[in-house]
Structure 1
Amino acid sequence: MMRELLQASAWRQAEMIARKEISPVELVFASLAAAEECQSKLGAFISIDHVGATEAARKAEVDVLSGRPLGAFHGVPVALKDDQFTAGLRTTGGSLAFEHYTPEADGPATARLRREGAIIVGKTAMSEFAMAVPTATALGPEVRNPWDPSRTAGGSSGGSAAAVASGVVSLSIATDTGGSIRAPAAMCGVFGFSPTPGLTVGGNDFGASPDLTVLGAMSRDLKDLRLAAKVLSEGEPNAAIRPMGLTVGVLGPLPSCFDEALAKLERAGVTVFQKRLSLSDCWLEDFGTISDHVRWKKLGTRLADDPTNRSKLLATTRARFDRGRLITPKRLAEAWERRAAFRAFFESAILGPCDAVITRTFPFEPPPLTDLNAQGDYVRSLVTSLGWVNFAGGCSLTVPVAVENNLPVGLHLAARGGAESILLGMADLLPVAARSAFNRMSVTGSAH
């Protein structure tokens, strides 16, 4: 029965705990057991917190039985990407340089989740400082996809996506700079929400550009994302709006498996049309310039410039830090100027009269693990497909609308900054094909 309850949404689990229909202790024990199984088969976690989660679950149960006020996620097991600081629980940022680092205080996102009663069962695997796409580090192997363990779960938040998709937790909090939430969410068949920069608290606690990196969430249920956004928001996020009368533009060709999703939008009164515009990667160099400079300034100066720490970094991370060090003030200023121009282009041309635009979240099937490093266009395609939303200051959401070749396919909705209500309203109308596949999937690592 507990395995079935793990498949319920986070809001439903919280509701059942509040009604004393289930025990938070039993639910958390089931989640911890599933996390261990998931770790052995998929490698989704860096740390699993048996002691801390059990203690928190017992306290949560006392609060329920005592009739105390309960938070939005009271007693609900959740996972955090390992770039979120957790007091008393190892936080590595996916790096050997922080293998034994234990923060003294919670980061802002962790603090808010705990205040709402969420129980952190573990820290999910990520690429080193979220600076690469494959979720593989010196701390562990590449995270495997629950739908097909011979394939990648994506990155940089692959551990979060695998943990949610395989039923360990219903909600995982993660970060997104250029697709790190949306790509793995799409590859693993779950919702992935990347809000407007500045809407939610914090970001990558190890240091990243607040203008590009956002704190978001993955879940198997849209209502969980709304609730998480409310808990993590700096202000009160707008509620989902009725989409009737809205306009959505389609960018580029879409696979035929999206036909049902587009038809549902049209039946609900949304105008859908093909935009005669293709996204280029003209912004990509400036995106990298800003991102690499910020990461070098916040992390590279004390890691890459120190011989002992430098030896613990992956070669790809060292190269990114070295690139950031060489960026001149003039080049950085020019990149920021061109970013302002791109934001204007996003408003006038990419969106124009549209309330949102639709693309395929990721242009490929999840690559096989053995082909990941050999597939040269994989990383560039991910950032090109998704990073433009971050660069433009917009918000976006991936919805698991279809399954092809026994693998999930995500539909990507993007809108201007502050328009989360439009995305959530449209997403409510879309089919969620991957959910039915999830019912056949568990941490055994197969959806077949």
Structure 2
Amino acid sequence: MNRPFRPAGVAALIFVLAVAAPEAAAQDRSDPAPNALERRSRATDEELRKQLLLVPEVGLDQPGASALYAPLVKGSARADPALDYGRAAYTRMALQIRRPDLLALPWVGAADAALGRDRAEELHAPSAKLRAALRASAPRGDVVPDPVKLRERLADKEWTAPAAVPALTQALQAEGAPVRLLLVERLAGITGPEASQALAQRAVFDLAPEVRERAARALADRPAGEYAPELYRAFRYPWAPAADHAAEALVALRKADLVPELVERLRDPDPNRPYKPEPPAGAGRAKAPGYVRRELVRVNHLCNCMVCHAPSQSKDDLVRGRVPQPGEDAPQRDYQTGLFVRADVTFLRPDFAVVQPVERPGKWAGNQRYDYLVRTRPLAAQESAAFQRQEREDLLPRTWPQREAVLFALRHLTGRDHGSTYEAWRAGLQKDRAPQPPR
């Protein structure tokens, strides 16, 4: 029997930096303003941060970064190192210590790693101005920006252009919650798919409920096609809270027209379940690939600048940034000498960033930025055998958190509970739409 689903009470809205838009109260009744977030999970931002602290770390630490930079510092490397100097050196290091698993990262292919000249120039100006604004808004002797002063410096019209989105997102996503709220505020004032996607990513990956809520509300008047794919992607993400947050955002948006695609998500497999990838095209009779698993990993941002980006040898390079040197004082924002990278060439593109404590920070701050991304890792022989045993004995879980998040969103958006399977929901919604016979 189909039975109505009655969601729990709506939580109070939380506003920290911005003021509710004056036109919100005048919205048409047929397209009501989104709810405050109906929470699927009550995990706090601190609890989520601790979860992420347990995620495996890959990439270089400070000693590894020192080894990578040494030839450039001593001048023993060629005067014009290859664009993939850092990535190639990291590969050699991983193979030398017999850790090929460290290379199982979502590397960007050579054809897509470099921005075209026009896009690089679009990114260069706002990046430079944003670094200057961050320096100017921080108290003397500190690198943490004052959100009030930073808002004043980001009030110019240029920060409402789509070209500002990459710089704003990259620089501000790992700052404190007040600055991340400012990030959402600025993204909300920018039209176009770039800003919509960035807002959806904040709604999914930000650890603070108030930031996620503000991001979800900012999506309300945007075309669903600009942001919905980012929310759907979260239901296939191996870190389960991302799916919870996507479900909360969809419920807050009250977009019933997204229900059919949500039903399709019930057909998705468990994002954490091992699987065998399809052999590459043209592989012929090559050995069939073994089991792999998608999993979240983290990379220390300060130690891996040159693994993620190309080295820069010229002051004329676009989107140029200073590489922090292990052993020197805490990294600042305005170095003029040293090693540099160019951010218009990127080999790894993380999904989000969080500041985490570091066990051996040296002269650097005890809390440093970590970038989080998803890798596809081959299973070790023992892992593969254990998974296959579970399969044979029918011990694999029947459901998983991401699937439950989809069901949470469906039940709240439709006010119905058609069970837990794709087939049941498809049949139930068809029955709901069928004309009812007169009584």
Question: Which structure dedicates a bigger proportion of its chain to strand?
Answer: 1
Where relative contact order (Cα < 8 A, 6+ residues apart) is larger, the structure is 2
* TM-score, normalization by structure 2: 0.28
* TM-score, normalization by structure 1: 0.28
